Structure 1
């Protein structure tokens, strides 16, 4: 077996939940957004998994529908999203095969409303299904506020981070619902392309799927640049990307 095929086989095996003989129904492929190595690894995983559908954190439902209807429009849809460079994400799209392209990004106006009004206000009747109608346990709320404070380079008032946590919860639930809808529409396996923070198993997409549909199996793989305490089903180390300190621009602004 060639090294490439062996790697693909290992990636497919990594999508198996513990003590199972079949791939997880929903496989979450976490990433460091600006790291090209993460996207190459995600592409390899998709080739091995051959999903029926791929849910993208980065695309809205409208943008994804255009890309899905005409694959020649993928780059244009990506540009409309305003996301990271398309060239580093292109290998993922090249690896899709016949998988449907599903978008789960919330429009900016929706995110702004969630920040002001909370996640449940905008999520609709499904809010209780994903726990958005409930406040977080105090220790988790505090931990998540501190994570957001650090992620924003401690450059914004800590008091603003509660709204950021609400947005994160809304996004996690939106991605989880999109994955479950895709599973119902197209069958397993479904893949999700998202940041490592959304892939975490304690309160990210896997946890919300377990709450909303406990019969559905998931497996979360994080492609990370260093060892991490973030809970994931599997951690795969990738070379760090070369980048300027992202905090510099935020602090200056």
Structure 2
């Protein structure tokens, strides 16, 4: 899983899974530029030896321009990770169109824009590239209140499968990575309550909660030549969380 000399862009890079991906890509030898809407992330990325660009992925035109700028600054683009996303949990009958639009613009449309723009750059440069789209195990199994969120994650998986042929013809692989419960900053804070920690661990077959670095390692694998046979795959990284029916049914408390 060597990324030495590879030039990679990661969106949503200032915290959580995105920051974990940046950290593991850097550890594997890649040059990384992180995009985020939060300017405070610049210092975090600098500490990892990564560049930072202030980017709002919901602004499609600005997002595409930022990818081109990163490509020009790094002198190439070998890998792209669509990680930026938002979660909105709201009872289905109360969900507003504005909330649905936000989920679509950030979670789904940005993936389309990112893949198109990065794909064109890689194609024009003749690069054997790799794109990783961060979806979720909610694409397969979800809970009430996550209808809009799970729809966007399911769309990412479906788009990835189709894009495998569209981009594969240009030697560009595209795969989806579907994490489950992960120790992001919010989850770590919640797990300070022993009851929450026990509940979160109970979702996994091995009674563990994935770290952001573990998800980052999975992303590094998909970006590397070690995964050359994978194209159009959706890789579940949820410690078997979604493998059982009726486990910790949130409708029943």
- Shorter-chain TM range is 0.3 to 0.5
Q: Which is helix-richer, 1 or 2?
A: 1
Q: Which has the higher contact order (CA 8 A, sep 6+)?
A: 1
Q: TM-score scaled by structure 2?
A: 0.37
If the length of structure 1 is used for normalisation, what is the TM-score? Answer: 0.37
